[in-house]
Amino acid sequence: MTRLIFLGPPGAGKGTQAQRLSDYCQVPHISTGDILRAAVADATPLGQKAQSYMDKGELVPDSLILDLIQERLGQQDAAKGWILDGFPRSLPQAEFLGQLLDTIAQPLDTAINLDVPDEVIVARLLQRGRKDDTEAVIRNRLVVYREQTEPVIQHYRSRQQLVSVNGNQEMDVVYDDMKQIVGA
């Protein structure tokens, strides 16, 4: 059973690596960013509420995200495991997830922290060219990451559920490191 959380700054390569590992382990890759971008593209009520936060690089309010993740983890395909990418993004989200996983009896295996230096992150994000990848928004996403998401690393470290991977290596090397962690 594979149940993983991917942590790390924007641009660390979480999406790419999580997708690859999810194909390999045959469990769904659940990216809250992807779900929100799809909602924005489809102009759903969720998308309409989330868009302004995403455009600024702010976190979307928990009132929108927590139901979404609860509903997603309750779906049939998630019963066999999952890889979470982009959630939890704050301590309250991590607390919520912990309680949810207790309730649905789906214990977490490991939180994988992809470690990448700041200079590398900014260069990578500018190259990616997503709508929220302008320099000002990138800077804000890094501030938000440091203030709200970084404490989540310590949360899992203190529970001895954290493993750090050097994300500043060739993609294939990072992938091999991660496969080793999950014992694949």
Residues sharing a CB contact under 8 Å with residue 122, sequence separation 6 or more, in sequence order: 11, 135, 138, 142
Q: Which three-class secondary structure state does DSSP give residue 115? A: strand
* Cα dihedral value 83, 180, 121, 145, nearest 10: 50
| Residue 174 in contact with ligand AMP, rule: CB under 6 A | no
Nearer to ligand AMP, 118 or 176 (CB): 118
Nearer to ligand AMP, 25 or 59 (CB): 59
**Contact positions with ligand AMP (CB under 6 A) in 127-156:** 141
- Of 161, 162, 172, the C-alpha closest to 24 is 172
Which two three-digit tokens encode residue 27?
A: 């469990």
| Residue 3 in contact with ligand AMP, rule: CB under 6 A | no
Q: Which of 2, 22, 32, 113 binds ligand AMP (CB under 6 A)?
A: 32
Q: Which of 36, 39, 40, 142 binds ligand AMP (CB under 6 A)?
A: 36
Please tell me the distance from the alpha carbon of residue 1 to that of residue 100, in angstroms, as a whole number: 18
| Residue 86 in contact with ligand AMP, rule: CB under 6 A | yes
User: Other C-beta atoms within 10 Å of 94: how many?
Assistant: 22
Q: Which of 4, 27, 40, 54 binds ligand AMP (CB under 6 A)?
A: 54
Alpha-carbon distances of 1 from 56, 82, 124, rounded to whole Å: 37, 9, 32
Nearest residue to ligand AMP on Cβ basis: 33
Q: Which of 5, 21, 59, 142 binds ligand AMP (CB under 6 A)?
A: 59
**Least distance (Å) between residue 122 CB and ligand AMP:** 14
What is the contact surface with ligand AMP in residues (CB under 6 A)? 10, 32-33, 36, 53-54, 57-60, 65, 86-87, 89, 93, 141
